[in-house]
Amino acid sequence: MSVKKTLISLKNVSFTYNRGLPTECAALFGVDLDIFSSEIITLIGHTGSGKSTLVQLLNSQQTPDSGEIKWHIEGVCDAKGLPVRRRVCSAVGLVFQYPEDQVFEETVYEDIAFGPRRLGKNSEETEKAVFKAAELMGLDKQILYKPPFELSGGTLRKVAIAGVLAMEPRVLVLDEPMAGLDPKSCDGFAKLLLGLRECLDLSIVMVSHNLEYAAALSDKIYCMSGGRIVLSGDPREVFSNIDKLEEFQIGFLPSAVIARDLSGRGIKFEKTPLTAEELATEILKNYGK
């Protein structure tokens, strides 16, 4: 098992939009967060909880008003040890919601090549990066030479993500990556993310309000509300804390709630079940069936 290395650390980070203007709006208060290598993290919270703001700070599109963010990724800092925005942008890949909307080039190849070319790669390096990214996203080589607008929404989304992967980031941040996908596509996507972590030793930060997938995929979950992190831990820790989840109206996993209610009636649970299958298994452990 590889040693966990801190890739990004946030200490006491606060951020306000439109500072000094009448439309000033505080978005983050004193956030502490560490992102380790090869980790999948999910940020959960309502619209307005600060998730999207946090995500923009991660790739330095915005800078915090107070507190500090440090990127411990090779090549990101200049000789003085200060982070170079351009390099942070490529080391921390950011995929927005409905990324298929941002595709614009004439062919899929050109669009995926946009990022690497901007990074100054020559045509040989670019081609390598494009092919690799397309393969990782399960895109057929033939698709590369088609105009993007002939493709379905789901495939186009893969193209957009490939465009970010082609820049070879160390951390991939995805804002609601499964928005608008049907359950089958969501499953496929989840498998893809796990595969990416495996192949590339990639850290993945997901913003999502799909609790089931958060539970299934994440190593760590951070719940946000009102610009603060109100609950964090691994999925079982977070979803067993039903009272806090309710307090901040974050939602709940039905299996965890039923487990809590049934344990109140004398049924024992070794661990907090995260799925119906786990719940059924835990219930039956009590009866040796």
Partner 1 sequence: MIDFKNVYFRYSNEEGSPYALSDINLNIAEGQLAAVVGANGSGKSTLARLLNCLLAPSSGSVTIGGLDTSLEENLWKIRRKVGFVFQNPENQIVGTVVENDVAFAPENLGLAEAEIEERVTYALEAVGLADRREFMTAHLSGGQKQRLAIAGVLAMKPDILVLDEPTAMLDARGRDSIIKLILKIKNELKKTVVLITHFMENALCCDKLVCLEGGFARFAGPPHEFFMHGGEHAAKYSLRQPFGYELINRLNEKGFSFGAADFMKAAGTSELTEIIAKALENVR
Partner 2 sequence: MVNDIILGQYMPTGSFIHKASPKLKIISLFLFTFSLFLIKDSYLYFYFLAVAFIILKLARLRASYLLRGLKPLIFIFVFTFVLNIMFSEGDKLLWEWGIIKITEEGLLYSFKFFMKVTLLVIYATLLTLTTSPVELSDGIEDCLRPLKLVKFPVHEFSLMMTIALRFIPTLVMEIDKIKRAQEARGANFSEGSLTERAKNFVPILIPLFITSFKRADELAIAMESRCYMGGEGRTRFRRKKDGAADYLMFIAVLAAVFPALVNFLASL
Which stretches of the chain bind partner 2, using CB under 8 A? 23, 56, 59, 61, 86, 89-90, 93-96, 99, 101-104, 114-115, 118-119, 149, 163-164, 167
**277 is in the binding site of which of partner 1, partner 2, none (Cβ under 5 to 8 A by kind)?**
partner 1
**88: exposed, middle or buried (Cβ count in 10 Å: 0-12, 13-18, 19+):** buried
Q: Is the Cβ of residue 19 or residue 268 nearer to partner 1 in the bound state?
A: 268
Count CB neighbours of 264 within 10 A.
8
Rounded distance between C-alpha atoms, residue 2 and residue 110, angstroms: 36
Coil/strand/helix, residue 34 = strand
Residue 63 binds: one of partner 2, partner 1, none (C-beta under 5 to 8 A by kind): none
Partner in contact with 167, chosen from partner 2, partner 1, none, beta carbon below 5 to 8 Å by kind: partner 2
Q: Which is nearer to partner 2, 90 or 255 (CB)?
A: 90
- Alpha carbon 116 to its chain's center: 22
* Nearer of residues 30 and 48 to partner 1, judged by Cβ: 48
Count of Cβ atoms closer than 10 Å to residue 54 Cβ: 27
The CB-of-230 to partner 1 minimum distance in angstroms stands at 16
Is residue 131 classed exposed, middle or buried when 0-12, 13-18 and 19+ CB atoms within 10 A define those classes?
Answer: middle
Which residues contribute to the site for partner 1 (CB under 8 A)? 46-47, 154, 179-180, 182-185, 209, 211, 249, 251, 254-255, 257-258, 261-262, 265, 267, 276-277, 279-281, 283-284, 286-287, 289
